[in-house]
Structure 1
């Protein structure tokens, strides 16, 4: 399974362009049904809005994506929102840009810039995480091995997610699958082969990233 970037916490921003008000929203979704439910709630809340335009991309194989201009000229709203999502390589994300018309027409180019700009604005504001496919590891070492191992981990800038001090020391790690073999070989070398390794099923881990 491949790593991917997404947004977990909904966020919202607002911009004004030539008297039109653009409310920009982002949501984490995993199914088309979730997207439909969120859009229904938004339309209910913003029933006076002139346009509720949106796009989403799902982390499926093959990838599913969809966009809507909601009455704006074809290709001027949903497509630029979708292009922003694609450019930032986000998946399982729904971006909505709501327009309250202010009386001044923007033209085709102006609409594309406005809707793409609204999508960029909210994505600039929100927290993006990388869903990193990682092995779940427990490394059990003696107290005599712990000091050297701990120093080596600091040099490698690898931080255990937890440590348990009992009869031995157990360190818990979430290591990207592609890096596991090298990491375990390093552990074996650092502890002279005395470390006990317990490897659980890999899972996606959230890592905060900047766009």
Structure 2
């Protein structure tokens, strides 16, 4: 029986020309989206999107700038690659260093990769000053990413094991405690469970289950695949 977890676990294909290495994990936004905040009557609309290449980033910037062509400013920043291989920031008419760079730093502090953000400002008539602008543009990015959601993309190992029906609740409790989602279950003579784990967590998981079930469990390795895993707002800075 398939669980809704597969709606969250997506197979990732890395396109040729991307700056991301297939053997690395990284954080990015869950999906494209927008968020608006109002500060002293000025509207700050953050539009944020995944971008695997500079070309994709620039196309998104052009699209949003056209959408909000009547705005006072369409500032932007992007970071492409695991090591910020390609970055760019623009103040688009705001005082130098008060918009694009704060936006880029916000992305980098959140450790987000392959992301482009355009923050559109409709001036409300009250000047914010340099410090106020820096905080406004930075917070626009952070709040947009937090609202949309952050995911970790990485290579995971499928692990398959079976447990007796009368031990399933114990195992399920353990999985919930460790925030390990069940990818699939099959109810036969025993309950067969499939999970995906980061490779560095595999041995500890096997040791824990072996101890919990007094050695009455065997593990089978399945496929390796690139998955996207939800990251909570409370701990994504620790990833």
Number of residue equivalences: 208
Structure having the larger proportion of residues in strand = 1
1:97: which partner in 2? 119
Q: CA deviation at 1:134?
A: 1.9
Cα 1:9–1:188 shift into 2, 3 Å: same
Cα 1:47–1:165 shift into 2, 3 Å: same
Once superposed, which parts of structure 1, at least 4 consecutive aligned residues long, lie more than 6 Å away? none
- 5+ long unaligned stretches in structure 1: none
1:32: which partner in 2? 54
In the aligned structure 2, how far is the partner of 1:201 from the partner of 1:124?
29
1:130: which partner in 2? 152
Aligned mate of 2:230, from 187, 207, 210: 207
Aligned mate of 1:155, from 164, 174, 179: 174
2:87: which partner in 1? 65
In the aligned structure 1, how far is the partner of 2:219 from the partner of 2:86?
43
Partner of 2:182, secondary structure, is coil
Given that 1:161 and 1:172 are in contact with CA atoms closer than 8 Å, whether structure 2 keeps it comes out as yes
Cα 1:186–1:125 shift into 2, 3 Å: closer
Larger Rg: 1
RMSD: 2.7
Q: CA deviation at 1:132?
A: 4.3
Partner of 2:75, secondary structure, is strand
In the aligned structure 2, how far is the partner of 1:163 from the partner of 1:155?
16
Partner of 1:74, secondary structure, is coil
TM-score by length of 1: 0.82
Given that 2:165 and 2:190 are in contact with CA atoms closer than 8 Å, whether structure 1 keeps it comes out as no
Cα 1:115–1:150 shift into 2, 3 Å: same
Q: CA deviation at 1:5?
A: 2.2
Cα 1:177–1:64 shift into 2, 3 Å: farther
1:45-124, aligned counterparts within 5 Å?
A: 45-61=67-83, 63-124=85-146
TM-score by length of 2: 0.73
Q: CA deviation at 1:20?
A: 2.8
Partner of 1:6, secondary structure, is strand
1:43: which partner in 2? 65
